[in-house]
Amino acid sequence: MKKASTYFRTRHSLGHEVLHNWWGNGVYIDYESGNWAEGLTTYQADYSFLEQQSNDVAKGRRLEWLRDYAALPPERDRPSRTFTSKTHAASQVFGYNKVAFLFHMLRRQLGEQVFESALRRFWREQRFRIAGWNELERAFSEEAGRNLSVFFDQWLDRTGAPEISFAKVAKSRQEKDAWILSLEIKQSEPSYQLQVPVQVLTTKGPVERLIPIKGTHTPVEIQLSAEPIELVADPDFHLFRRLVSGEAPPTLRDTLLSGQTQTLVLEGSTFQQQGLALARAMLDSSLQSNSTLEPEKPFLLIGPSSEVDTFLRTHKLPGMPEELAVPSSAQVWARRTPQGQPYVIIAANSQASLEALLRPLPHYGRRGYMAFQGSKAVIKGNWPLSKSGILYRFP
């Protein structure tokens, strides 16, 4: 059994397709009311395999989902209930990732036992029938013993995600070993009903609380047995939310998902033809080929290494990162301009080196930098987080 589990985990797309024998082929999708099966299958197969590896690996996937959403331009966002099938990378963000996150939050809110029994009920009642989100909601509500319509409506019928912050944070000492931490948890409009994980670091160690909030301002008081030093909301990325500054270092997807990305290919027509073919394979929108840079838009720059170096110096942008200073035939990295616009650089030693990227590179949208030797990625990484969670530190 262990060998089979490892096989499915390392080839997660196979596990995903096997589970579709239940969700999609066993219970049919009511496409008119939205495709619930891809997100549920992603959560129970692809994500579940990562959870079996470790909590840190699963946390990394949740962060990837949130980074993907951070890269999605607001004008390309759609309510998840409108998703029927994947037509582009943007639809994967709200049709697969966000829906998988919905099930993750539901499982944490209801508990493992209720979550599993609700899915078993859904299977029993809807097997070989066409079913939609309403049937799923009813199964979960009946097993939970409460109405979950607010939960499903807020995650399925809206675009956007909550932005969470702290306000009016204060601490007061009541007696020798008694402190009170008072604060407000704020969120953007329209507000959501959430259960916010909060961790308070005290002089005696961390204290964890799960704070239910609704509305734009929720007052909170936490009694502590030691002085609080800092607090952080959602440090492990259990909520579908807008990431704050420092939680979303640049990735290729920031540029590739934008509908405004301009493509610049340096050098002659032969190199340019291959560069434009690569750009078409990577971009999630129509190609906008430019000869000069418009600084107010994201851009994708492709060219020979020497020409790329000259371009970056001319435009006062940083050169190739130290992380990519290894023997390689092509280097790729994502950054942001001083004005905050994302961009991606692809520098290749030759036309053949550029051509070798055509198949592998479009699959690395979540990466921040890569180096290739031919078609093989010899370096692939992400820029480090400067922050994990919404942080407040006492002076």
Write the CB contacts of 335 (distance below 8 Å, at least 6 apart in sequence): 250, 317, 318, 342, 343, 345
pLDDT in the model for residue 330: 97
Token pair listed for 196 = 């916010």
List, for the chain, all residue ranges whose pLDDT scores fall below the cut of 70.
1-12, 268-269
- Is residue 231 within 8 Å of residue 200, measured between CB atoms? yes
Counting Cα atoms < 13 Å in the Cβ hemisphere of 113 gives 0
Distance CA 302, CA 275 (A): 6
pLDDT digits (tens, 9 = 90+) for 32-81: 999 999 999 999 999 999 999 999 999 999 999 999 999 999 999 999 99
pLDDT digits (tens, 9 = 90+) for 141-174: 999 999 999 999 999 999 999 999 999 999 999 8
10 Å CB burial of residue 251 (0-12, 13-18, 19+) is buried
pLDDT in the model for residue 12: 53
Angle at the Cα of 299 from the Cα atoms of 294 and 303, rounded to 5 degrees: 110
Name the strand (E) or helix (H) holding 392: strand 390-393
Give the torsion through C-alpha atoms of 56, 58, 60, 62, to 10 deg: -140
Is the Cα torsion angle 121, 126, 131, 134 positive or negative in sign? negative
Give the pTM.
0.86
CB-CB neighbours of 171 under 10 Å: 18
Domains and CATH numbers, the chain: 2-156 (1.10.390.10), 164-243 (2.60.40), 252-381 (3.30.379)
10 Å CB burial of residue 119 (0-12, 13-18, 19+) is buried
Token pair listed for 322 = 């130290």
Is the Cα torsion angle 80, 83, 86, 90 positive or negative in sign? negative
